Amino acid sequence: MKTLYLDCSSGAAGDMIVAALIDAGVPLSTVAESIEALGIDGLAIRTSSTMKGAVRATSFVVEAVGDRAPRTYADIVALLTGSRLPDAIRSRSLDAFAVLARAEARIHGTSVDDVHFHEVGGIDAIADIVGACAALEHLGPDRIVVSPIATGRGTTGSMHGTIPVPAPAVLEILSGAELFERGTAELVTPTGAALLASWAHSFGPMPRMKLEVVGYGAGTSDLSWPNVLRVIAGEQSDVERYDVSTELIETNIDDMSPELLPYVIERSLEAGALDAWATPAHMKKGRIGTVLSVLIERGASQAVLDVLFRETTTFGVRVSAVDREVLDRKVVDVDVGGHTVRVKVGYRDGAAITSSPEYEDVARVARATGMALRDVYRATLERIDPDLL
């Protein structure tokens, strides 16, 4: 599975993303042809090699003569729809602008149709998005993962006046992404955020893969660190492997209503726990209570501890290191009566040794077809294609 990892240790902007993909081997002509397909006169692009700190990178610049007028979302949709862009590039570009439009509408309390783009409505920003989408289509990754994203802090100027950094649109767009603060410059632009959000299959650390190519895209500013966005492409197995380094957090509770515990378990899982459960136990003074147990990745306890101390009556917890042996796994799709059921397949030493249909999918198919739940389970396992294992 061809995987593209975007390393955003210095944030992300549209031009940085295009530049990094070109540096990774996408021909400049591929980007130029798509931008020319917009049919806008007075538009030119250029690249150059530059140094950002001690790192050589490619910069990407769009030169637009006399086109700085703000556009509405409808204007941009009409421009892209009426262009000669290939369908796949047009679709990706429209997706990115839809992400931008929804964010702007929520921030300014208006409808998507009434959104006016200022900075991202200029033709240079449009060219960045179209060029980035063209470059991505050329690479053709099966999976895209985005690293934790560096943001600045402070304030910056905009057509709406002074706004905080990260910009409100950036935070709206990157809901669900991992962010961290770095320096005082504005590191993430709405254009860059929209591309990341519309492309990413997941956010997090770099997946295990066989490295094939690396590209560096230069940011405009010179900072105290290399201001580059890095793209890393490689081949990743579709079988996921799991870290066995874990910790077990436990606490004894005898003065809390048991009906509240399912909520605590749910919140612990949302906070990143690998598993959570409750076990009835006899406590001191003859009380009947509960041992609440939460399994986490080692070093990731803080968010779960916040949940336990906020949502339970405990005054303390026990934390211990636990080694875990787990099967490698992947998910395959199985068709049952015209409905898709995901099946988790477990591997040991490269051989499939167990499989388990996802309960929620099985229940959905049972409700939709009227089949008994156990019959859907059985039909799912019978229909697994051996070639998918």
Domain residues for 263?
A: 245-323
Q: Are 115 and 145 within one domain?
A: yes
For residues 172 and 168, give the distance between their C-alpha atoms in angstroms, rounded to a whole number: 6
For residues 368 and 362, give the distance between their C-alpha atoms in angstroms, rounded to a whole number: 10
Residue owning tokens 């003065």: 255
Among residues 5, 60, 62, 64, which one has the least CA distance to residue 219?
A: 60
Last residue of a domain, one of 323, 351, 368: 323
Q: Are 55 and 181 within one domain?
A: yes
Q: Are 362 and 377 in contact (CB under 8 A)?
A: yes
Residue owning tokens 């147990």: 293
For residues 294 and 333, give the distance between their C-alpha atoms in angstroms, rounded to a whole number: 30
**Residue 324 to residues 54, 146, 242, 321, Cα–Cα distance (Å):** 41, 27, 10, 10
Q: Are 209 and 234 in contact (CB under 8 A)?
A: yes
Q: Are 94 and 181 within one domain?
A: yes
Last residue of a domain, one of 235, 259, 283: 235
Residue 47 domain flag: yes
Q: Are 229 and 278 within one domain?
A: no
For residues 12 and 173, give the distance between their C-alpha atoms in angstroms, rounded to a whole number: 13
- Say which CATH number the domain at 268 has: 3.30.70.1380
For residues 145 and 218, give the distance between their C-alpha atoms in angstroms, rounded to a whole number: 20
Give the pLDDT score at 295: 94
Among residues 134, 74, 79, which one has the least CA distance to residue 101?
A: 74
Q: Are 42 and 178 within one domain?
A: yes
Write the DSSP assignment of 104-133 as a string of letters.
Answer: HHHHHT--GGG-EESGGGSHHHHHHHHHHH
Give the pLDDT score at 238: 66
Residue 353 domain flag: yes
Last residue of a domain, one of 299, 323, 347: 323
Q: Are 336 and 300 within one domain?
A: no
Residue 75 domain flag: yes
Q: Are 24 and 118 within one domain?
A: yes
Residue 221 domain flag: yes
3-state secondary structure (DSSP) of residue 379: helix
Q: Are 293 and 157 within one domain?
A: no
Q: Are 127 and 63 within one domain?
A: yes
For residues 152 and 135, give the distance between their C-alpha atoms in angstroms, rounded to a whole number: 27
Give the pLDDT score at 365: 92
Give the pLDDT score at 121: 46
Count the helix, strand and coil residues of the chain and give each as a percent rounded to the nearest 5. Answer: 35, 35, 30
- Say how many residues make up the chain: 389
For residues 72 and 117, give the distance between their C-alpha atoms in angstroms, rounded to a whole number: 6
pLDDT tens track, the chain, 389 positions: 799 999 999 999 999 999 999 999 999 999 999 999 999 888 889 999 999 999 999 999 998 776 556 688 888 999 999 999 999 999 999 999 999 999 888 887 887 877 777 555 478 889 999 999 999 999 999 999 999 999 988 877 666 668 898 989 999 999 889 999 999 999 999 999 999 999 998 888 898 888 999 999 999 999 999 999 999 999 886 666 655 578 999 999 999 998 999 999 999 999 989 999 999 999 888 889 999 999 998 877 888 999 999 999 999 999 998 888 888 888 999 999 889 999 999 988 778 899 999 999 999 999 999 999 999 999 999 998 776 66
Residue 195: burial class (beta carbons within 10 Å; 0-12, 13-18, 19+): buried
Give the pLDDT score at 266: 94
Give the pLDDT score at 243: 55
Q: Are 19 and 51 within one domain?
A: yes
- Say which CATH number the domain at 338 has: 3.10.20.300
Residue 133 domain flag: yes
For residues 118 and 159, give the distance between their C-alpha atoms in angstroms, rounded to a whole number: 7
Q: Are 317 and 339 within one domain?
A: no
Q: Are 202 and 71 within one domain?
A: yes
What's the number of domains the chain is made of? 3
- pTM over the 0.75 mark: no
Give the pLDDT score at 110: 81
Residue 240 domain flag: no
Give the pLDDT score at 261: 95
